[in-house]
Structure 1
Amino acid sequence: MIKRLIENCSSALFGKSKFRKSLRDKKLCSTPLASVDLELTSLDPLTTQITSIGYVSGSAGKIALSSSGYHVINTSADLGQSPVIHGLTLDILQQGEGIKEALKSLIPLLESHVLIFHNARLDLMALNSAFKRCELPKVDVVYIDTLQLALYQLNKQHQVLPSNSATLTVCRQRLGLPAFPEHNALDDALATLQLFYAQLNELGITLEDSIESLFHTNAVGRFSLGLSSS
């Protein structure tokens, strides 16, 4: 058992080192980015359902507004307080598209871009659950989490983090970005990509640097969505 544990740890460390090296070829000036945001029925990553998906692409410090997309998802899940927060009532959701169709249209973006999230863990787990329910094939993604970038900076300044100090709104305010309409997936995706560019400036990272330059913040990762073919 101990030998197997050591082998697993060695394999994990090798995989992490190999992943980090792969990021050195991904220059921020030329790597396509896609900011993705989900509106969900709850904050429980195991049970939450997706009610809308918003995304927008960018690269080299710019945002391609024409690349943006927005999907309202027809779901029968218990909405809880979601309509109050996001404004997506049952009537609106019933006019939306099926989750499988929305995810299938999203796959080319997921495969070709480095993804930007604010709270990657929650959104990726929600996407993974949806991929598995829809029996979609595995998609490996690389992502950057602006929430983790914010926590990296905040932990250098505070022993105890102030309450709500890492929300998307507060993170933007701290870096002098303007207010934006909250709790709409497309607006949040746009706001997240703007935040990411501002965070690069705060960290002293230029567009000539690679994504590997962010690795020490623990904000860069990879994730497998969906079912393995094996």
Structure 2
Amino acid sequence: MSNASAPSLSWWGRIQRWMAGGTLLPEERKHQMLRDMPLLAIDLELTSLDPKKAKITSIGWVEGKAGSIDVSSCYYEVVRASGDLEQSPVIHGLTADTIAQGVHVRDALKKLSQYAHTHVWVLHNAGLDMAVLDRVMAANEQQMENVITLDTLKLAVYQLQKQHEVLPPNSATLTVCRQRHHLPLAPAHNALDDAMATLQLWFAQYYSLDPKGTMSIQDFTHTQAVGCRNLGKIEN
């Protein structure tokens, strides 16, 4: 019997993820057609771009599928926060009193958790928002496993890199990405408005790449816009 130990699951998972183009999707999800998958566009308004210290001041989301947006599913909440909020309240049109009276972040995340396995989440800059969610959920002893995400920012970068060796400044912001796809100007700095704008952008990006609707979510992993991760405190 060899003294060498078997490779750890985390090590093997990293190898599988590398072989899959950076994202290891659950087997039962990878061959689903993107056009058929329920989507949840999410936006967080944050006090900082540093995921290690950013606080959530508001959260908004809306559901969609196959090019349609379900406006009846719109959700928006101001989240209670204290301490140094930097310029976030001013930028996002919130007052200190409004934030102080907001819902506890734990309650907002509990509502969000019902979409962890039923929907693919759509975000603009998923890396930032998911890192913040991961940290905040762990702090509140909450968890979500195998959350699949689509990042409209990364998809924009993928498309831009086909045309530019060096990306133009600010070319991947939500507003500029929407302009590039001839979408109308959308209100900014409100979590629900930004979630709605992000979902509209995703539909435009998706149909520019897959007009016939024949691609699975696995087919999109080469763009680096597809992610799958655990959030919060995951028990072994």
Same fold, judged at TM 0.5 (above)? yes
Corresponding pairs, count: 228
Distance 2:90 2:212 in 1: 40
Distance 1:107 1:227 in 2: 13
Contact 1:21 1:212 in 2 (8 A): no
- 2:227 aligns to what SS in structure 1? strand
Letter in structure 2 aligned against 1:176: H
Distance 1:71 1:154 in 2: 34
- 1:221 aligns to what SS in structure 2? strand
Q: Deviation digits for residues 181-222 of structure 1, max 9, x if unmatched? A: 001000000000000010012223433421122111010010
Distance 2:167 2:35 in 1: 33
Q: CA deviation at 1:46?
A: 0.7
Q: What is the aligned partner in structure 1 of residue 74 from structure 2?
A: 68
Q: What is the aligned partner in structure 1 of residue 34 from structure 2?
A: 28
What stretches of structure 1 of length at least 5 have no aligned partner?
none
Pairing 1:182–2:184 present: no
Match of 2:15 among 4, 13, 16: 13
Q: What is the aligned partner in structure 1 of residue 50 from structure 2?
A: 44
Cα 1:169–1:188 shift into 2, 3 Å? same
- 1:109 aligns to what SS in structure 2? coil
Q: CA deviation at 1:112?
A: 1.4
Match of 1:147 among 135, 138, 153: 153
TM-score (norm 2): 0.89
Q: Report % sequence identity.
A: 47
Structure ranking higher in helix proportion: 1
Distance 1:208 1:21 in 2: 19
Q: CA deviation at 1:20?
A: 7.6
Match of 2:103 among 84, 88, 97: 97
Alignment of 1:131-210 (within 5 A): 131-210=137-216
Q: Deviation digits for residues 96-139 of structure 1, max 9, x if unmatched? A: 11111111111101231100000000000111111011111343
Pairing 1:85–2:87 present: no
Cα 1:9–1:140 shift into 2, 3 Å? closer
What stretches of structure 2 of length at least 5 have no aligned partner?
none
Q: Deviation digits for residues 49-71 of structure 1, max 9, x if unmatched? A: 00001000011111111011011
Cα 1:205–1:45 shift into 2, 3 Å? farther
Q: Deviation digits for residues 130-178 of structure 1, max 9, x if unmatched? A: 1011111343300010000000011111111111100000000011000
Deviates more, 1:200-209 or 1:34-43: 200-209
TM-score (norm 1): 0.92
Contact 1:205 1:213 in 2 (8 A): no
Q: CA deviation at 1:30?
A: 1.8
